[in-house]
Structure 1
Amino acid sequence: MSTIKNKKIAIVGGGPGGLTLARILQMKDADVKVYERDPGKDARAQGATLDLHYDSGLRALREAGLMDAFKANYRPGADRLSIVDKHANVLMEDDEKETGAQERFRPEIDRGPLKKILLDSLHPDTVIWNSHFTSLTRVDDACLLTFQDGSTAIADIVIAADGANSKIRPYITPIKPFYSGITIVEGAVYNSVVASPNIHRLLKNGKLFVMGDDKTLIVSSKGDGSLVFYTGCKTEESWSRDCGINFSDKAAVFNWFKSTFTDWNNIWDELFENASSHFIPRPQFCMPLDQTWNALPDLTMLGDAAHLMPPYAGEGVNMAMLDALELGLCLTDDGFPDTHTAIAAYEQQMRTRASATAAMTLESTAALHSSDAIPFLMQIVS
């Protein structure tokens, strides 16, 4: 670990990517802190169930020595995927991924348990909570991080793991994402067996991909008995701001759904009628596939901060965790003469990999919101 010996490393963002990197670095005795804006580990509800892939998310957990903890916390059977049309006809069920080839094994785990596994693997006090990053300045040969509450931290290397709206990325490159053409509206239903029994039966503790009329509705079960769902529609980039819908008003969102998803089976109404009152509109953006920048000796990034893309290939968390593994390996590789060289090597391979994944993701995003959506997905999962 010659390149980072005696260096303080700051990771901004305590999601799966940032926490995985902290674990990889601490395994090599690096001096690392994670600065997370949430006030504590239980500050907010965690989102959808994640399916981890053999050669990315699961590889990172294997090399981090956390597979036993993962196997104790993942949800067997939750990778069941049902392809459904808008009339609620189940066209295909895929529930063989856990029993087939190892490379096809894509087990599901809720974000909460995954976060706990990663947090529990770190040294005490690694994560500094309530650290909402606001600015970075260079002081001599170090970086001074300033947070919203006025506190500061000094680090020799800073890694942006702060997601889609990264505040550190602009210190690395001015390149901005472009709009993908799709906006998601996210909602959640608690205690789905009681609140939405018909959807609950259809889910079978797995995931539904419902498609029709160039639109999608994805529903995922969670281990706590709740479900999360996401509509996907082609809209203008500014739609969520200009549409006039109050997304905290359940009735208003339900009216929008009924007028937009016309002729869809009434079973889907259960989701909107019984959702928690707060919906979240999420315009989907993607970084340019040919993005590049000059490597810096003390700043880099991973996950959505580096290569934001829509979720329609299930690669987001897997990419972030693989980034973390590869960056950690580069920074602790004695073969690199300095951190600048190590970061440059990591960024080159990360961009190449992310570009290919983003191209596949954009193709999938377009196909799932087209008239060929159902045959496209059936071909992929068959």
Structure 2
Amino acid sequence: MKNSIIENKKIVIIGGGPVGLTTARILQINGVDVTVYEREINAQARTSGGTLDIHSDSGQYAIQKAGLMEEFRKYARPTGEKMADIDGNITSDEMPDESNAFSRPEIDRNDLRKIMLDNLEENTVVWDSQLINNEKTEDQYFLEFKNGKTTAADFVIVANGGRSNARKFVSDQEPKLSGTYIIQGEIKNPDLDYPEFKPKYGNGNVMAMGEQKMFYTHTMRDGSVHFGVSFKADENWILNNEIDFENDQSVISFLNETFKNWGDDYQKFFKASTEFSGLPLRLFSLEESWKEHSNITLVGDAAHLMPPFAGEGVNMGLFDAYHLTKNLTDGKFETIDEAIADYEKKMFGYALEAQRMTKKMEDLLHSDVVTEDILNSRF
């Protein structure tokens, strides 16, 4: 380290997702004592969700700073984008060329996590550790976990997502509904369960929109297909339309009714799908300022939760990791709080812009208007 603001300091990161692990990796290679506490039971716990497109002008900065770009490129892949209409007809088909192949490559969530875990020191991550309480005692934080473990930290980085209960020293803001609901599922073996899909729609990403609804698919590295559908839903709809996600047929029936005016391809896709989940999308708006705080900060969704419609969420989180770790290790600041303040000032700028862009995309995608903005978006 070039200076001593975090020398001999015990740093705790709450949350072992991509942002928390990347932050830990960068700090660790700079000689920092850092421990990650993660609620998942172990490293084999499967992360759900589609692929992530990691942008060269934001998220990849952190991958580079972590010294793992070569490893990243082993798993990340340039991915084609197709748009379809509600009848299932392909209306556009784009594939990155040599000049922009790795400007926004896709990578499976589990692969990105594996890269980071494989390159952390042994026992950096303490698994099965769900935070239940965080209290400040003079110049330290005392953290208590559901499994009975406790620890003290000189500096806490909160990276455990939009449902974090560790934000209270930084912001009292509760997540707000964005106005959209998403249902996700997957086809584990599309070649067997829906053999017509890949010959027509390929191995890249597919998106269709209409009737104020959206359908999208991501092809995973193992050939399985993750999908999501989203539609406008206010608080009253959420309260009055409980869906039984333990019953696949119940979800399929709901989707068939919701997309009854769409083509047979979508009905076939739903029929072949399993492992459904659903949630109302929420956000922490950076339009609201944070309260005064010391030796603690937020990164990723814990700082600026936003819907996925502009592909910015994880990229902004990785950008947080880049800026925060740079401030902590480059010798420019005299204290941790000065480094935090500068990071948060930068973060409020770029992440608020991303939130505003995401809101614009959310409205466009759930309208009946196809624009150039949509054609150029990534999911």
With the shorter chain as reference, the TM-score category is over 0.9
Q: Is the 8 A contact 1:83 1:208 kept in 2?
A: yes
The one-character-per-residue Cα deviations of 1:58-113 (angstroms, maximum 9, x if unpaired) are 1111121101111122234xx211011110110101102x52247x7211111111
Q: Is the 8 A contact 2:169 2:293 kept in 1?
A: no
**1:100 aligned onto 2:99:** yes
1:287 to 271, 284, 287: 284
* Mapping for residues 64-213 of structure 1, pairs under 5 Å: 64-76=66-78, 79-96=79-96, 98-101=97-100, 105-213=103-211
The residue type paired with residue 296 of structure 1 is: H
CA separation of 1:232 and 1:346: change in aligned 2, threshold 3 A: same
Aligned partners of 2:278, 2:237: CA distance in 1, in Å?
9
CA separation of 1:341 and 1:206: change in aligned 2, threshold 3 A: same
Aligned partners of 1:5, 1:274: CA distance in 2, in Å?
54
TM-score, normalised relative to structure 1: 0.94
> Match of 1:219, SS?
strand
More displaced stretch, 10-19 vs 248-257: 248-257
Aligned partners of 1:379, 1:344: CA distance in 2, in Å?
34
> Match of 1:153, SS?
strand
Number of residues paired by the alignment? 376
**1:2 aligned onto 2:4:** yes
The residue type paired with residue 186 of structure 2 is: A
User: How far off is 1:253 after superposition?
Assistant: 1.3
Aligned partners of 1:341, 1:37: CA distance in 2, in Å?
30
Alignment-derived partner of residue 265 in structure 1: 263
> Match of 2:164, SS?
coil
Aligned partners of 1:287, 1:202: CA distance in 2, in Å?
39
Aligned partners of 2:297, 2:236: CA distance in 1, in Å?
30
Alignment-derived partner of residue 50 in structure 1: 52
Alignment-derived partner of residue 237 in structure 1: 235
Runs of 4+ in 1 over 6 A off after TM superposition: none
User: How far off is 1:298 after superposition?
Assistant: 1.3
More displaced stretch, 256-265 vs 282-291: 282-291
TM-score, normalised relative to structure 2: 0.95
> Match of 1:75, SS?
coil
**1:328 aligned onto 2:329:** no
Alignment-derived partner of residue 17 in structure 1: 19
Q: Is the 8 A contact 2:310 2:377 kept in 1?
A: no
CA separation of 1:272 and 1:380: change in aligned 2, threshold 3 A: closer
Aligned partners of 1:186, 1:123: CA distance in 2, in Å?
34
Alignment-derived partner of residue 225 in structure 1: 223
Structure 2 stretches lacking a partner, 5+ long: none
The residue type paired with residue 73 of structure 2 is: K
Aligned partners of 2:286, 2:337: CA distance in 1, in Å?
23
The one-character-per-residue Cα deviations of 1:254-296 (angstroms, maximum 9, x if unpaired) are 22112211210111122321222x3211211122241211442
User: How far off is 1:324 after superposition?
Assistant: 0.7
Alignment-derived partner of residue 38 in structure 1: 40
Aligned partners of 2:350, 2:283: CA distance in 1, in Å?
15
Aligned partners of 2:149, 2:244: CA distance in 1, in Å?
35
User: How far off is 1:35 after superposition?
Assistant: 0.4
More displaced stretch, 158-167 vs 138-147: 138-147
More displaced stretch, 146-155 vs 368-377: 368-377
User: How far off is 1:375 after superposition?
Assistant: 5.2
Alignment-derived partner of residue 308 in structure 2: 311
CA separation of 1:317 and 1:202: change in aligned 2, threshold 3 A: farther
Aligned partners of 2:10, 2:258: CA distance in 1, in Å?
52
CA separation of 1:89 and 1:192: change in aligned 2, threshold 3 A: same
CA separation of 1:30 and 1:376: change in aligned 2, threshold 3 A: closer
Q: Percent identity?
A: 37
The residue type paired with residue 94 of structure 2 is: D
**1:26 aligned onto 2:28:** yes
